Amino acid sequence: MKLDLFDYDLPEELIAQTPLKNRSDSRLMVLDKKTGEIEHSVFKNITQYLRPGDCLVLNNTKVLPARLIGIKDETGAKIEVLLLKQLEGDRWETLVKPAKRVKTGTVVRFGDGKLSAVCAEELDHGGRVMKFRYEGIFYEVLNELGKMPLPPYIKEQLEDQDRYQTVYAKEPGSAAAPTAGLHFTEALLKKIEAMGVKIVYITLHVGLGTFRPVNEENIENHDMHAEFYQVSEEAARTIMEVKENGGRVVSVGTTSTRTLETVASAHGGKIAASSGWTDIFIYPGYQYKAIDALITNFHLPKSTLIMMVSALAGRENILHAYETAVKEKYRFFSFGDAMLIK
């Protein structure tokens, strides 16, 4: 399957640079995956499209202030290090810029030496394994020195760092936010729960796969980076009860979807308590096993995420929906508007 099949034209001015004042004021496009029919609404009206007995599945990962700006020990050159995933102890997989300046053994210091890191291993695509040294508690040092790792297409400074976290973020570990969840407020979640929808939290820590473009002309040759996920006994039991009672599993975001589909693929279509690493790559031809509906944002052209939603709703339906979103001037990407595929 060719990469160009997932391309579309997006005017730069439609890339949202800042979040809206109120999270749930985002627009909501509702796409019927069977017919391709489109409705236009606002996110706070998501309750109109949910039913008692449904299950809403949210990713409760918390974004680390994972972007560190440091100085190379020998030369004083400026080095940017983005934490991607903890390997073991104080060793982390990172993305480094400029990578050519950081070789095995290179030392980078941050915050006048409060934190330092030595390059332990060189990986592909600017990846480096860095071993950190510090005094005290790593996450406290990181909170002091690190910045939120906003995607490269966001040029504006983020005034309130919490706006790049969901209101239910709990488990630290992500290098990027599960952005479909940014539209929810605590009040909206309470309203959804009060109407008889089960709310379930699972975890997937977003890593390198989010930042890597697809460079293969034939998409089947693209390799996904593995990301850590966790599904608790309680979450698995609730999802299975909803399925057995005829309710729908409504996944919030592509990260929740990847987690659920990974678990279902490993357990014969069932959701079971489990944790591990997933490198699942979902594109058209994939048969969904876990989810019935998806709340998501509008994704980059030629990205693995637009391939994933195309597998759910059909490529032509998705590209038509995106064409409509451009025409109607929806806001795109992380701080943009939402789509419900039902």
CATH number at residue 264: 3.40.1780.10
CATH of the domain at 119: 2.40.10.240
For residue 153, tell me if it sits in a domain: no
Per-residue model confidence (pLDDT) at position 168: 98
Radius of gyration of the chain (CA): 20
Of 86, 118, 145, the residue that ends a domain is: 145
> What is the number of structural domains in the chain?
2
Phi-psi region of 283 (alpha: psi -120 to 50; beta: other; left: phi over 0): beta
Q: What is the pLDDT of residue 112?
A: 87
Do residues 119 and 27 share a domain?
no
Token couple for 233: 């006994």
pLDDT for position 211: 62
**pLDDT per residue over 17-40, tens digit each?**
999 999 999 999 999 999 999 999
Q: Which residues of the chain have pLDDT under 70?
A: 208-211
CA 261 – CA 82 distance, rounded (Å) = 28
Residues 6+ apart with CB under 8 A from 20: 26, 335
- 52/17 same-domain check: yes
Q: Are 231 and 331 members of one domain?
A: yes
Q: Which domain holds residue 29?
A: 1-61+158-339
Contact (Cβ atoms closer than 8 angstroms) between residue 96 and residue 79? yes
- CB of 293 within 8 A of CB of 57? no
Structure tokens at 184: 């929810």
Strands (E), the chain: 27-31, 38-42, 55-59, 61-63, 67-72, 78-88, 91-97, 107-110, 115-122, 127-134, 171-174, 198-204, 227-231, 249-252, 274-278, 293-297, 338-341
Q: Which one of 120, 145, 170 terminates a domain? A: 145
189 and 133, same structural domain?
A: no
pTM equals 0.91
Looking at the fold, whether 26 and 105 belong to one and the same domain comes out as no
Q: What are phi and psi of 266, to 5 degrees?
A: -85, -15
| ω into 19 cis (within 30 of 0) | no
Pair 269, 322 in one domain: yes
* Dihedral sign of CA atoms 262, 265, 266, 269 in order: positive
Q: What is the pLDDT of residue 194?
A: 98
pLDDT tens, position by position, 185-232: 999 999 999 999 999 999 999 986 666 789 899 999 998 888 999 999
Whether 53 maps to a domain, the answer reads yes
